[in-house]
Amino acid sequence: MTPLIQAQGLSLRYGAKQALDDLSFTVAPGRVVGLLGHNGAGKTSLMKALVGLQAAQGQLSVLGLTPGQDRVALLEQLAYIPDVAILPGWARVSQLITLVAGQHPRFSAERARALIRRTSVGLEDKVKNLSKGMVVQVHLALVAAIDARLMILDEPTLGLDVLSRKAFYELLLDEWCDGERSVLISTHQIEEIETLLSDVLMLNEGRLVLSLSLEDIDRRFVALGHDPTAADAVAAAHPLLRYRTPGGSAALFDGAPPPEVAALGQRLRPSLVDLFVALTRRPEINRNQGL
């Protein structure tokens, strides 16, 4: 399968700030890829580079096109919701559908209406009368009605309550993820999105610190739950991170810990949040330090 995205040595600099630093990764068809990073880590810059809205150095191919050169053609072939997306408040949902149908050659008004009917939004509702969660669902329905193989969502659920976030992800899973199309989605809500993902791209200060499938994460990283009395022996084996669990203490290792250390505890499924903390250490968020 040809990858939908291929990046090799991708870099982006704003003046003195290195926003993206030598990123190389691929996104295959049929994946749900989480783009994770702190504020300012480069998530939005990367997404803009992928859709050709921001020039970057290095090799980049998206849907077989070069974003910097083929921006118009590319934007017609992917579904993109930027972090600053706004729908006009005066418009009715049905008017938005007509509007997009007139602008976008691969948009299906019929499918958009079918997707809207799955939500609690009415076609004649005005955007300004909808809750924030409903507006985001309308936006998703609009971009999911584009005949595309790649969707790029920049912090789509930011500021939504838990029920709206759930409704958003249900719509995404049910109506977009068909095993062929892929979605790249940036978010801070790692715990919530973890089980939806097939792959993770983790950015820290412009560098890609992890690009791996969830399956390979489970294979490569080992979390070891252990009794507090074993803490010293576990610490001596140099884990990436030590943290508390409901049942006691745990440590995260890159690769299998030595057998005598592994014997001190029970192997746990490594959580993405702990991995994120371990790989993007910043003192203010190392919530479980100081054991």
Partner 1 sequence: MQAWHQQLPIYQQLADRLAARLLDGELTEGAPMPSVRALASGYMLNPLTVSRALQALDADGLLEHRRGLGLFVRPGARDRLRAAARSRFLATEWPALRERLRRLGINPQDLDWTP
Q: Can you tell me the distance from the alpha carbon of 124 to that of 93, in angstroms, rounded to the nearest whole number? A: 6
- Shortest distance in whole angstroms from residue 71 CB to partner 1: 31
Per CB under 8 A, does 169 bind partner 1?
Answer: yes
268, 273, 286, 288: which one binds partner 1 (CB under 8 A): 268
Strand-pair partners of 249? 226, 244
* Contacting range for partner 1; rule: CB under 8 A; set: 59-67, 150-158, 194-202, 229-237: 194-202
Radius of gyration of the chain (CA): 21
Per CB under 8 A, does 174 bind partner 1?
Answer: yes
- Shortest distance in whole angstroms from residue 191 CB to partner 1: 9
Per CB under 8 A, does 173 bind partner 1?
Answer: yes
Binding residues for partner 1, total number by CB under 8 A: 26
Per CB under 8 A, does 271 bind partner 1?
Answer: yes
Q: Which two three-digit tokens encode residue 285?
A: 């968020």
Residue of 121, 98, 119 whose CA lies nearest to 110: 98
Binding to partner 1 (CB under 8 A): which residues in 123-152?
none
177, 231, 256, 262: which one binds partner 1 (CB under 8 A): 177
Q: Can you tell me the distance from the alpha carbon of 257 to that of 40, in angstroms, rounded to the nearest whole number? A: 33
Residue with tokens 């994120």: 276
Among residues 58 and 248, whose Cβ is nearest to partner 1? Answer: 248
Per CB under 8 A, does 162 bind partner 1?
Answer: yes
Binding mask 7-36 for partner 1 (x = CB under 8 A): -------------------------x----
* Contacting range for partner 1; rule: CB under 8 A; set: 35-43, 69-77, 132-140, 267-275: 267-275
Binding to partner 1 (CB under 8 A): which residues in 196-235?
196-198, 214-215, 218, 223, 225
Among residues 169 and 276, whose Cβ is nearest to partner 1? Answer: 169
Among residues 102 and 179, whose Cβ is nearest to partner 1? Answer: 179
Angle at 29 between CA 39 and CA 71, to 5 degrees: 65
Strands of 78-81's sheet, edge to edge? Answer: 78-81, 150-154, 182-186, 32-36, 199-204, 207-213
Helix or strand (DSSP H, E) at 18 = strand 17-27
Binding to partner 1 (CB under 8 A): which residues in 50-109?
none
- Shortest distance in whole angstroms from residue 245 CB to partner 1: 7
Q: Can you tell me the distance from the alpha carbon of 142 to that of 111, in angstroms, rounded to the nearest whole number? A: 9
* Contacting range for partner 1; rule: CB under 8 A; set: 123-131, 134-142, 227-235, 262-270: 262-270
Helix or strand (DSSP H, E) at 140 = helix 132-144
CB neighbour list of residue 215: distance below 8 Å, 6 or more residues apart: 198
17, 110, 128, 170: which one binds partner 1 (CB under 8 A): 170
Q: Can you tell me the distance from the alpha carbon of 269 to that of 289, in angstroms, rounded to the nearest whole number? A: 20
Strands of 248-254's sheet, edge to edge? Answer: 241-245, 248-254, 221-226, 265-268
Binding site for partner 1 (CB under 8 A): 32, 162, 166, 169-171, 173-174, 177-179, 192, 195-198, 214-215, 218, 223, 225, 245, 266, 268-269, 271
